[in-house]
Amino acid sequence: MLKFKFSDQKPATAIERRQRSPMDIFIETIELQTQAVKAEQSGKPLLIKKQRYAKVDGQSQKVEKEIKVRPWWWSSVDENGKTSFNITMRYGSQIIAIEDKPTIVAGPDLNAVEKTLVLLLDAAKKNDEQLVKAVNAAKQRSRRNPK
């Protein structure tokens, strides 16, 4: 009998090697949301360029379109009439919930939203354990063929 150590492990595919980590994608999205808050404070929505397929002369072609960034934040009014801004973190279309709570109460204005996003960015860059777990769970839910 051969005295080797055997394994079921397979080499990573080319697609798997090229994929970015969920946390890298999440960090990039937080930075984009921070830019969107700053743009909203100046009175303009943040527009980014995305490639889309559109019919040009009867044929589908890639075209570059400006798309408005969908904000993670929203405002609500409590029973006392006070307005507060809330943040719902997302990984693609999936909501990221920490401790089974999908919403962060940011504060009374967009400055508070910006500060909260900066704190989230800092936690994400430091690989906060709760945040990493929540982002990975959202990534797993977003997959078409979960493993």
pLDDT tens digit string along 7-17? 888 887 887 77
pLDDT tens-place string over residues 69-117:
999 999 999 888 899 999 999 999 999 999 999 999 999 999 999 999 9
pLDDT tens-place string over residues 21-77:
899 999 999 999 999 999 999 999 899 999 999 988 889 999 999 999 999 999 999
Task: Determine the structural domain holding residue 25 and report its residue range.
Answer: 21-142
> Is residue 4 situated within a structural domain?
no
CB 46 within 8 A of CB 37: no
> Is residue 5 situated within a structural domain?
no
> Is residue 2 situated within a structural domain?
no
> Is residue 99 situated within a structural domain?
yes
> Is residue 82 situated within a structural domain?
yes
Q: How far is CA 122 from CA 9, 18, 21, 27, 115, in A?
A: 35, 25, 17, 9, 11
Q: How many domains does the chain have?
A: 1
> Is residue 77 situated within a structural domain?
yes
pLDDT for 1: 61
Q: pLDDT-based confidence at 146, cuts 50/70/90?
A: low
